[in-house]
Structure 1
């Protein structure tokens, strides 16, 4: 199974933001840092997941296990519901991508277990223009 670690970060809330994605796939590793412009931290977390899912679809991975340190994102996607209607468009985009996989798990992990994705997200913040 493909292991996917995602993290979104913001320098301010809202502020310059970035997405970090770290994928362990069949003996190889994929690292991605994506500058996101000005977003809130939660928006950056959703965008990081969207970026990761898109990468996995592009690589034609069919079964993935996603790990995030965002409890909001993991519970929203897992429960297919978000209380804050401002995040609804993000959830809709995430679910449309999740539904393209044969199997897609999403799991919350503590920040201490998500260091590589966090580093990539922080790198992406610095890439904002």
Structure 2
């Protein structure tokens, strides 16, 4: 099982934003992705990080994944397949459509101090905007 750590960050609300994705293949190989996202809110950046990471896994033919996020919003939305704020409904629908393509998918909330790689990559992406 591959571990994927994701984070979205925004310098303002909205503001310049970025996605950080850290993929650990657990065989010594890792991937770092720092993706500028333009102007958006922090929550939108979190969703964009998730969707982009799912796309990366699908492109690579990865079928079993364990995602980690420090965003309770993302973790709750994926677990319940529901969002209170309808502004995020299109993001959730995109994510679910991708998640359903995996043989095995886990999402786990982790404290920020366990998500430092993805956080650092997201902050680097903000500076690339």
With the shorter chain as reference, the TM-score category is: over 0.9
2:67 maps to what in 1? 66
Structure 1: any 5+ residue segments left out of the alignment?
Answer: none
- What RMSD in Å do the two structures reach over aligned CA positions? 0.6
Which moved further from structure 2: 94-103 or 24-33?
24-33
1:111 maps to what in 2? 112
The reply on whether 1:2 has 2:2 as its aligned counterpart is yes
In the superposition, the TM-score normalised over structure 2's length comes to 0.97
**1:28-39 map, 5 Å:** 28-39=29-40
1:41 maps to what in 2? 42
For 1:31 and 1:125, the matched residues in 2 are separated by 15
In the superposition, the TM-score normalised over structure 1's length comes to 0.97
Q: Deviations over 1:71-124 (max 9, x none)?
A: 000110111000100000000000011011001101111111000000000000
For 2:32 and 2:55, the matched residues in 1 are separated by 13
Structure 2: any 5+ residue segments left out of the alignment?
Answer: none
The number of equivalent residue pairs is: 128
For 1:124 and 1:9, the matched residues in 2 are separated by 9
Q: What SS does structure 1 have at the residue aligned with 2:97?
A: helix
